[in-house]
Structure 1
Amino acid sequence: MWEKRPLKDRYQVVIIGGGVHGVSTAYYLTKLGIKDIAVLDKGYLGGGASARTTAIIRANYITVEGIPFFNESLKLYEGLAKELNFNILFNQMGRLDLGHTDAAVYGLRMRTEFNRLLGVDSRMVGPKEVKDLVPPIDLREGKPFPILGALYHPPCGVVRHDAVVWGFARGANNGGVELHPFTEVTGIDRTNGHVSGVETSRGFVQADTVLSTTAGWSSTIAAMVDLNLPLTTHPLEVMVTEPLKPFLHKTISSANLHAYVYQTDRGEVVIGGGVDPYQSYSQRSSLRPIEELAAHTLEMFPCMGQVKVLRQWSGLCDMSPDYAPIMGTVQGLDGFVLSCGWGSWGFKAAPAAGKSIAQLISTGETPDL
């Protein structure tokens, strides 16, 4: 898949974090002519947050900054398998964001109009069309939280997280990038206001530029240069069921019920929700969030009452106060670049984020996002 090379004592760019943001940035840097790059990860490539994502790709956001950015990333995903010559198993099944109250439907209508104004394929549908698109769903007529409408986003899809990481990593490797798993960064050296290199478990490595793409560990890495980031790390818990015959052909999300659901090509049903309310670096699952996810899923799909949970896991999300990412250079510290604060939206943003950060490193100027 990629070559095993000896770790040199100097590189033009060192990328801390071998997840999807690290390898995508490395790949796009090679397209801009920068090839003297080392990607370092304390574990195996794609083994951190990228291995724990549910990998839903969409662009139906609400802000004028977020919609175009995620739409660009969605378009990059649509052509990624061809560009990388690697099947990322991207299934554009479409998505329904359900509204159960008048206020929720009003919010979905606002999102729909913002999406359409900014060129994103979204439209409102009523309960009948929801049922036509997803026959097994319970419209909850006469019950609490009936389905009053939904935002339908046809280009939304799901992708294999490992295939995306491997595809980007192989593409970066083919462009000359060195990939060094099991190489932990333990410190960052500075000289006269400029990053000079990183201390690793395999020795010191000099670098002109150091990029941190470490998701839930971003504040830990930033602390190595005495930078206090406004980030908190929260677990996000997910579970999947035993394989079932195909019955669900859309991604379903309900903000009121705090759950989203889709079925994989292997028949397993992936169930997730929001981040846990407490800060933690623990990646162990706990009972209460999984119990709540199961209960809310059954409110939408009572037919799943006897289905067994196959496995569950937790990932780490780096949450910023305004739920927006932190991307760019650091004032007063030349050569140090951040791509963090992606929260639970990082995987879907990776191609656009990687391409943007690569342009920043290459030109020294912030690209038009």
Structure 2
Amino acid sequence: MSTPPPGADLPGHPDFLWRNPAPKKHYRVVIVGGGGHGLATAHYLATRYGIHDVAVLEKGWLAGGNMARNTTIIRSNYLWDASAGIYEHSLKLWETLEEELDYPVLFSQRGVLNLDHSLQDIRDSKRRVEANKLNGVDAEWVDLDGVRELCPIVNTSDNIRYPVMGGSYQPRAGIAKHDYVAWGFARSADAAGVDLIQGCQVQGIDQSGGKVTGVQTNLGPITADVVALCGAGNSSVLAEMAGFRLPIQSHPLQALVSELVEQVHPTVVMSNAVHVYVSQAHKGELVMGAGVDSYNGYGQRGAFHVIERQMSAAVELFPIFARAHVLRTWGGIVDTTPDASPIVGETPVENLYVNCGWGTGGFKATPGIGDVLAATIAAGSVHPLAQPFSLDRFTTGLLVDEHGAAAVAH
């Protein structure tokens, strides 16, 4: 955890926000993975669906994985109906999340601008904008003058490698403070009676007669009526423990922040052509995301040449930042599927649910998928918003192909 929340000077921080209990022998629901999705699922299970006998098992510390290693961008301007449905549901929850959690998450709806650099970019953007409107998602296409008005510091010269020709814009999109989000969900879940168990690594998944019965951990066996896998990039490893395979690949994804600079960047800007996305955090540091490293791996780091290309792209789009110093870099583990869409719902093992494959879009989905997965577990049937993302779509062929349709990875 990086930036302390309000009140962090209280004795025992961060433990004062939640208990650190020893695991019980049995729970009604065990959630594997204490990141944003796992914590949000626990929160909604307890507060919306009345299921309090829940444990969240985290092998490290809460929200120390991808939740602490992303670029915090939130948007819902996806092309296909299924994607727009789940992300718009999430965005609506983001808009009231501070009241829901009674905790600051610093959700700033400063908009997201996706730049167009070619006629094909423009056609693709206008197609996505019209699809967004049909799904009730706010979106508009802006010309070059519109880009200049939304973000005056973007380089709109015509003598650069990829001149800007316009872009699509979602006004309700924005950013939030990732660690505050995690702490808010954890604090709420704990207050509702959920056990948040850190340093608890799942080493096996028990089942009998095709039905899950619990998990084996380094802290001993835990039996459960229901188990939900929310392990992001490590989900394929967890699935292997249960005897089935997931069609996901894990890759490092890198990002960085600069030193603190004056507040000059009013929105979030993304570009597929030069492949970088840039926002400015609340304190002033520039947050920049890069592309996915090509190799598979579970390391929370990446190759230097990816960062080099990222910095080159950022300076091309924002010459004003050419002398800003890099403060730190990091990497997360993204889990990618063949159609660039998540896998949510039932598995071949009864009462074992999976939530993975969000690739570079997991943070923005945090409250939405938490609510949807909690509803699925509570009802024992898959929530309508999750049904298009079932595991069996890879055998039926009903894919939700978001490759390139959702703009640059983030």
The counterpart of 1:205, out of the listed 222, 227, 230, is 222
Contact 1:38 1:180 in 2 (8 A): yes
CA distance, structure 1, for counterparts of residue 277 and residue 22 of structure 2: 44
Q: Secondary structure at the residue paired with 1:347?
A: coil
Single out whichever of 106-115 and 269-278 deviates more from structure 2: 269-278
TM-score by length of 1: 0.98
Residue 146 of structure 2 corresponds to residue 157 of structure 1: no
Q: Judge conservation of contact 1:285–1:312 (CA < 8 Å) in 2.
A: no
Distance 2:264 2:153 in 1: 7
Name which of 124, 131, 140 aligns with 2:157. Answer: 140
CA distance in 2, matches of 1:284, 1:322: 25
Deviation, 1:285, is 3.6
- Residue 7, structure 1, aligned to residue 16, structure 2: no
Q: Which amino acid aligns with 1:93?
A: R
Tell me what 1:248 maps to.
265
TM-score by length of 2: 0.88
Q: How does 1:284-363 map to 2 (within 5 A)?
A: 284-331=301-348, 333-363=349-379
Measure, in 2, the Cα distance between the counterparts of 1:324 and 1:104. Answer: 21
Q: Which amino acid aligns with 2:116?
A: G
SS in 1 for 2:292: coil
Q: Does the Cα contact within 8 Å between 2:346 and 2:382 map onto a contact in 1? A: no
- Per-residue CA deviation, residues 102-135 of structure 1 (Å, 9 max, x unaligned), is 0011100001101111111110111112112211
Task: Report the CA distance between 1:192 and its aligned residue.
Answer: 1.2
Which of 216, 229, 237 is 2:254 aligned to? Answer: 237
Query: Over residues 305-364 of structure 1, what are the superposed CA-to-partner deviations in whole Å (9 max), with x where a residue is unaligned?
Result: 111111101000000000111111113x11211001111101111111111111111111
Query: Which of 45, 70, 75 pairs up with 2:87?
Result: 70
Q: Please, which runs of 5 or more residues in structure 2 have no aligned partner?
A: 1-16, 386-410
Counterpart for residue 280 of structure 1: 297
Deviations 1:265-323 (A, max 9, x none): 11110111221121111212431011000000111011211111111010000000001
- 1:247 is paired with a residue whose SS is coil
Question: How many residues matched?
Answer: 368
User: Once the two structures are superposed, what CA deviation does each residue of 1:10-51 show, in whole Å capped at 9, x if it has no partner?
Assistant: 111111000010011111111201111110000110001111
Write out the 4+ residue segments of structure 1 that deviate beyond 6 Å after TM superposition: none
Structure 2 residue 197 is the aligned partner of structure 1 residue 180: yes
Instruction: Tell me what 1:268 maps to.
Output: 285
Secondary structure at the aligned position of 2:352 is classed as: strand
- Per the alignment, residue 45 of structure 1 pairs with 62
Any conservation in 1 of the 2:111–2:173 contact (CA below 8 Å)? yes
Whole-Å separation in 1 of the counterparts to 2:306 and 2:235: 25
User: Percent same amino acid at aligned positions?
Assistant: 40
What is the letter of the counterpart of residue 33 of structure 1? Answer: G
Per-residue deviation, 1:2 = 1.0
* Map of 2:407 onto structure 1: none
Please tell me whether the aligned partners of residues 56 and 197 of structure 2 are also in contact (alpha carbons under 8 angstroms). yes
1:23 aligns with 2:49: no
Query: Paired residue for 2:405?
Result: none
Q: Kindly indicate whether the alpha-carbon contact (under 8 Å) linking 2:337 and 2:357 is maintained by their aligned counterparts in 1.
A: yes
Aligned counterparts of 1:274 and 1:293: Cα–Cα separation in 2: 8
Q: Offset at 1:365?
A: 1.3
2:185 maps to what in 1? 168
